[in-house]
Amino acid sequence: MNYINGEILYVDKPLGWTSFDAVKRLRGTLMRRMGIKKFKVGHAGTLDPLATGVMIICTGKATKRIEELQAGVKEYVATMALGATTPSFDLETEIDATYPTDHITRELVEQILPRFTGTIQQIPPAYSAIKVDGHRAYQMARKGREVELKPKTLVIDEIELLEFSPEAITLRIVCSKGTYIRALARDIGQALRSGAHLSALRRTRVGDVGIDSCLTIDQCCELINLSPLEMPEEK
């Protein structure tokens, strides 16, 4: 494989890792394998540490394709806990309020989900990497500062209810780049006249790349170390 001319790796990011952690691990393995001290590696689309699943990682000249690759439609399987909210809309922060759920039925959930398909407006989470006055929103939010973010236009192609219980729902979501599933959990909780937050998230597809095509981080490192290595010819 010629990592300098450019290779694209499909990775199943593990729980607890940042996207940077995954890139750093593979970059380090590649630099040791090739005996160089500097090498360009990047990812096509961030995944939060509490999310798992498809990450596309590009090496060398293939990093020029990152913008193209990250524009692909995303598919997620998301579990949303009902009856409670958190400031980050997921498990990064503690529960800050609880709400009744006795009135929530499968029929009610299926009734409100179509409101969130098509072209919609979504206010991103305060705990996000969006910049406000030159600062990352999450940095301001973690310091207790008020963060006001403008709604973004995005497209949600499909939402399918996979599992229902009075405590949680699991959804399959197909959506455009820039969709915050955490914010969707917030909005669905409000539409249910209750509260909700994201308790688990797995990205199962980016464009044409499905989770079945992905390797673990360790498998990718093994591939790098064991596959024949091509180096570009010197001119």
Which residues are known to be catalytic?
Answer: 48
- 3-state SS class at 194: coil
Q: What DSSP character marks residue 124? A: P
Question: Who contacts 117 (Cβ-Cβ below 8 Å, separation ≥6)?
Answer: 156, 157, 158, 159
- What are the φ/ψ torsions at residue 48 (nearest 5 degrees)? -65, 155
Both tokens of residue 88? 């980050």
Burial label for 176, CB within 10 Å (0-12, 13-18, 19+), is: middle
Using alpha carbons only, give the angle 212, 21, 80 rounded to the nearest 5 degrees: 60
- 3-state SS class at 27: helix
